[in-house]
């Protein structure tokens, strides 16, 4: 169907990639500890939405453009790196707050901010775009007349499986860390850990070589 082949292998490979710990998992765990289930779920859904942008990009050829054009790759790389560095430094410099103030940050604005940080971290990362371009075509026949639709279907399968896994991670982290969230000092250190993660990702993206 649609030129897709070895779907079982695609699903199995995608599940292995999703369960492998990485920056996304660390971000979800950190936000779950910091803001509870809603924060962890917002982080997970934001990350998935960021991936969806790249799936759509792969379907319409944006990822191919990034690989073919060094200037386009460099522009997206620098924008993504700048965003991650700015966000990471801001979190690293945050101070411990009273417990009441921290609890008050669990409102809609905080959840919205967590969602957009997760989404933009993936949207502005050219490695995610290149990953989908490299991974998805392996399971689509070269002579398929519906390549764009096939990419979209495979990408949605990958994202749905990844979202389910990430929500499970958020639920586990929330249940395991209920007491940790009561400490303003711990929350500040979580902020710094997440900030360090963002700075690391920003530097790493900036150092990628355009291909």
What pLDDT digit, counting tens, does each position of 138-170 carry? 777 766 677 778 888 888 998 999 999 999 989
Structural domains counted in the chain? 1
Best mean pLDDT range from 4-13, 93-102, 115-124: 115-124
Tell me, yes or no, whether 189 lies in a domain. Answer: yes
Tell me, yes or no, whether 62 lies in a domain. Answer: yes
pLDDT of 38 > 80? The answer is yes
pTM comes to 0.70
Residue from 149, 121, 147 nearest 51 by CA: 121
Tell me, yes or no, whether 1 lies in a domain. Answer: no
Specify the pLDDT at position 21: 64
Tell me, yes or no, whether 10 lies in a domain. Answer: no
CA distances from 106 to 13, 32, 47, 144, 178 (A): 36, 11, 19, 48, 14
- Residue-number span of the structural domain to which 155 is assigned: 24-206
Contact by Cβ (8 Å): 75, 208? no
CA-to-CA distance for 63 and 71, rounded, in angstroms?
13
- Tally of residues, the chain: 211
């Amino acid at each position: 169907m649609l030129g897709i082949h070895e779907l079982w292998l695609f699903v199995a490979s995608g599940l292995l990639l999703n369960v492998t710990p990485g920056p996304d998992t660390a971000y979800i765990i950190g936000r779950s500890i910091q803001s509870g289930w809603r924060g962890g779920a917002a982080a997970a859904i934001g990350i998935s939405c960021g991936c969806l942008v790249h799936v759509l990009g792969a379907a319409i050829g944006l990822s191919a453009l990034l690989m073919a054009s060094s200037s386009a790759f460099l522009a997206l790389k620098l924008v993504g790196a700048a965003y991650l560095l700015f966000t990471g430094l801001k979190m690293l410099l945050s101070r411990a707050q009273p417990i009441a103030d921290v609890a008050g940050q669990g409102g809609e604005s905080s959840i919205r901010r967590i969602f957009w940080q997760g989404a933009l971290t993936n949207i502005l990362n050219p490695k995610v775009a290149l990953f989908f371009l490299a991974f998805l075509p392996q399971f689509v026949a070269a002579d398929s007349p519906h390549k764009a639709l096939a990419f979209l279907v495979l990408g949605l399968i990958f994202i749905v499986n990844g979202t389910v896994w990430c929500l499970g991670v958020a639920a586990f982290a929330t249940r395991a860390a209920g007491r940790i969230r009561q400490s303003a000092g711990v929350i500040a250190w979580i902020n710094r850990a997440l900030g360090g993660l963002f700075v690391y990702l920003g530097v790493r993206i900036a150092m990628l070589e355009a291909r």
